[in-house]
Amino acid sequence: MSRQDDLKQMAAAAAVDRLQSGMVVGLGTGSTTRFALERIAELIRAGRLERIIGIPSSIQTETAARELGIPLSGLEAHAVIDITIDGADEVDPDLNLIKGGGGALLREKVLAQASRRNIIIVDASKLSERLGTRWALPVEVVPFARAAEERFLASLGAAVALRTRNSIPVLTDQGNLLLDARFGPITEPGRLAAQLSGRAGIVEHGLFVGLAHEVFVAGAEGIRHLQRNG
């Protein structure tokens, strides 16, 4: 395992420590969350976590959780989630996030908004003074609106790229397209989020403003625990 994987695993273990038997747990998406899934499964097998119900944020996570033997359900049965554990692409000092590197931003945000508590797990490379410095902002658009929303994002100053894999457009779990909008450092994430949310063709965007309650950051000096003020 690489050093970065070690760090991801450490952050994941710290977050999973917060879980208690009987909780409904939102399961994020990505390589860091994968370590959390493995840890949850390990604690279930050891009898240290009982009656856990996982709500997956993507087909990828659902498949992995099933393989690991984590009991799953959906929001129709459990509309309120106790704790969601998820990764992030970028974290600013106010604990605002860019998410969606794995393309699951819509369902991840649905889970985050349905959760009493959101715990984010990252390695130290994800910290950034301003969102957008290191990462393009993923924006999920309906295929019908692609050209119009590309133009709109460009009008806001972003360099826009359609996300592809092997030259084929990536489709989200909803069958939508992803535009990666490179804004550079974003000075007012809340304002940009509102502008994007006002567009009919934009299904969701990867700015998570005011949603993370705490972040576990694993780095060379160990785990840092950041909590949102207010």
Order the strands of the 115-123 sheet from edge to edge: 53-56, 24-27, 81-86, 115-123, 214-219, 222-227
Could you tell me the CA-to-CA distances from 12 to 98, 107, 147, 202, 205 in Å, in that order? 18, 20, 39, 31, 24
Based on CB atoms, which residue is closest to ligand 5RP, 30 or 189? 30
Which H or E element spans position 177?
A: strand 177-182
Residue among 77 and 84 whose Cβ is closer to ligand 5RP = 84
Q: How many residues bind ligand 5RP (CB under 6 A)?
A: 17
Binding mask 55-94 for ligand 5RP (x = CB under 6 A): -------------------------------xxxx-----
Taking residue 113's Cβ as centre, other Cβ atoms within 10 Å add up to 12
By CB under 6 A, residue 132 contacts ligand 5RP: no
Residues 177, 140 contacting (CB under 8 angstroms): yes
Residues 167-226 binding ligand 5RP (CB under 6 A) are none
Q: Check binding of 102 to ligand 5RP (CB under 6 A).
A: yes
Helix (H) or strand (E) holding 36: helix 31-45
Residue 47 Cβ, how far from ligand 5RP at the closest point, in Å?
Answer: 28
**Annotation says 204 is catalytic:** no
Please list the active-site residues.
Answer: 108
- Residues in contact with ligand 5RP by CB under 6 A are 28-32, 86-89, 99-105, 108
